[in-house]
Amino acid sequence: MKKEIWTKDYLYAILVLLCVHTGPYLLLSVITVYGKMLSGSDTLAGMMASVFALSGLFARILSAWLLDRMPLKKVLLIFMGAMAAASFLYIFTSTYIQAFLLRACQGLAYGVACTAMSTYIVQLLDPANRLEGIGYSSLTANLANAFGPAAAYALLGEQVDQFRVLFIAVFLSTAVSFALMLGIKENSTAEKTEKKQEEKAGLTAILLPFLIWALLSFSMSSVSAFLALSSLEKGFGSIGMYFTINVIGLVLSRFTMKPLIDRFSENAVILAMLVIIGASLAGIGVCTSVWQLYTISLPFGFANGCLAPILNTKMVNRLPDTQSGSANAAFFAAGDAGFIIGPTIWGMVSGMAGYIAVFLAAAVIALAAMLLQIRDHKGEK
């Protein structure tokens, strides 16, 4: 019998994951301001943001290794404790190198803690509920991203210089996360056993979904990197409503993707969402009014919101329960890699051919992922 998703343990885990995201998202939009304040250099300020993402990518690899060898709760407490310590030390930073090293530590600890917490949530779910459960849990990052930047600027004050106040808030949020993790119960299905060797599936089983998500992340990084600059060039002015509408589409997807799959099949939904992503990216490139951009943002957010949990669930389902940590780590690593490499490549493209070329090339790459999906679907038959 299919188990209920909204159990007490699942709701508690969702709360903990939201708290895990809160601290990093408080700093995400303002850390370059702090880096510039300490160094006086735009390049060094940018590196403060990059080191968090790079250390987070390494954390995905580390977490896969750790979760196969250590109790999940122990991994959570060690790395959430490390994140709290780094956040506390931030309060006393006075040089760029101090802040840079602590930012790297935060990225590593956050990457491991986030992957471990997501794995714990997967292990709480009945296999029949995984798609919906993973979809709802991933909304925690969107919620943190929705209120984090606004809260950060409110704490920084009108002069955007009260960083000590902000760092205290980041430390308190990580300390609360650590305290909440003490109440987590190890899931019996997650216990590491000396199980049959044949249960150990190779990571090749998730290679194609990994590549599909990496290509999609790479293509969608064009939006995070160059949407603002492209809109300014077109004279659109403020495009804040784009992000609001995009999030509405993403939230809607989490409540409708399962009925869509039940009616049309997983493969059909994935292919349709890939087409929407490709068309949306092309539309962003060629749109001539801000209202056209706003119209595009809803289906773009919806398609992205569908594809992320579907591909994540597919990777988890293809490996044994004892390797769900590796599956989650691989999914997050694919996304991280795309968003780390993407802005640099798209910057080169924009320098040679302009912003329209960036979005059209990103659309082609998103559509190219359809070939991988078609091949993957044939392999499943």
The most distant pair of C-alpha atoms in the chain lies apart, rounded to whole Å, by 62
Query: Do 18 and 82 fall within a single domain?
Result: yes
pLDDT above 50: residue 299? yes
Cα(340)–Cα(217) distance, integer angstroms: 9
pLDDT above 70: residue 201? no
Average pLDDT on 278-297 reads 94
Query: Do 246 and 317 fall within a single domain?
Result: yes
pLDDT above 60: residue 380? yes
Query: Do 178 and 266 fall within a single domain?
Result: no
What pLDDT is recorded for position 381? Answer: 64
Cα(113)–Cα(123) distance, integer angstroms: 15
Q: What angle do CA 165, 110, 129 make, to 5 degrees?
A: 120
CATH number for position 369: 1.20.1250.20
Among the residue ranges 42-46, 118-122, 333-337, the one predicted with the least confidence is: 42-46
What pLDDT is recorded for position 180? Answer: 94
Structure tokens at 376: 């993957």
**Domain C-terminal end among 140, 159, 185:** 185
Higher pLDDT, 30 or 223: 223
Judged by DSSP in three states, 265 sits in: coil
Higher pLDDT, 198 or 230: 230
Query: Do 181 and 216 fall within a single domain?
Result: no
Q: What's the DSSP call for residue 95?
A: S
Average pLDDT on 95-100 reads 93
What pLDDT is recorded for position 187? Answer: 57
Give the pLDDT band of residue 194 (cuts 50, 70, 90). Answer: very low
Query: Do 242 and 290 fall within a single domain?
Result: yes
160-170: per-residue pLDDT in tens? Answer: 778 899 999 99
**Three-class SS of the chain:** CCCCCCCHHHHHHHHHHHHHHHHHHHHHCCHHHHHHHHHCCHHHHHHHHHHHHHHHHHHHHHHHHHHCCCCHHHHHHHHHHHHHHHHHHHCCCCCHHHHHHHHHHHHHHHHHHHHHHHHHHHHHCCHHHHHHHHHHHHHHHHHHHHHHHHHHHHHHCCCCCCHHHHHHHHHHHHHHHHHHHCCCCCCHHHCCCCCCHHHCCCHHHHHHHHHHHHHHHHHHHHHHHHHHHHHHHCCCCCCHHHHHHHHHHHHHHHHHHHHHHHHHCHHHHHHHHHHHHHHHHHHHHHCCCHHHHHHHHHHHHHHHHHHHHHHHHHHHHCCCHHHHHHHHHHHHHHHHHHHHHHHHHHHHHHHHHCHHHHHHHHHHHHHHHHHHHHHHHHHHC
CB 207 within 8 A of CB 291: no
The parent domain of residue 352 ranges over: 202-380
What pLDDT is recorded for position 197? Answer: 41
Query: Do 178 and 213 fall within a single domain?
Result: no
Query: Do 45 and 178 fall within a single domain?
Result: yes
Residue with tokens 């509405």: 248
Residue 194 lies in a domain: no
Average pLDDT on 233-243 reads 82
Percent of the chain with pLDDT over 70: 95
Average pLDDT on 239-254 reads 87
**Domain C-terminal end among 185, 216, 245:** 185
What pLDDT is recorded for position 203? Answer: 65
**Domain C-terminal end among 156, 185, 214:** 185
CA distances (Å), 40 to each of 16, 35, 104, 298, in order? 37, 8, 20, 38
Residue 190 lies in a domain: no
From the list 293, 264, 265, the residue with the least C-alpha distance to 380 is 265
306-363: per-residue pLDDT in tens? Answer: 999 999 999 998 888 778 888 888 999 998 888 888 888 888 988 899 899 999 999 9
CB 160 within 8 A of CB 30: yes
Query: Do 173 and 230 fall within a single domain?
Result: no
Higher pLDDT, 193 or 243: 243
Number of domains in the chain: 2
56-97: per-residue pLDDT in tens? Answer: 888 988 988 898 888 999 999 999 999 999 999 999 999 999
Query: Do 219 and 181 fall within a single domain?
Result: no
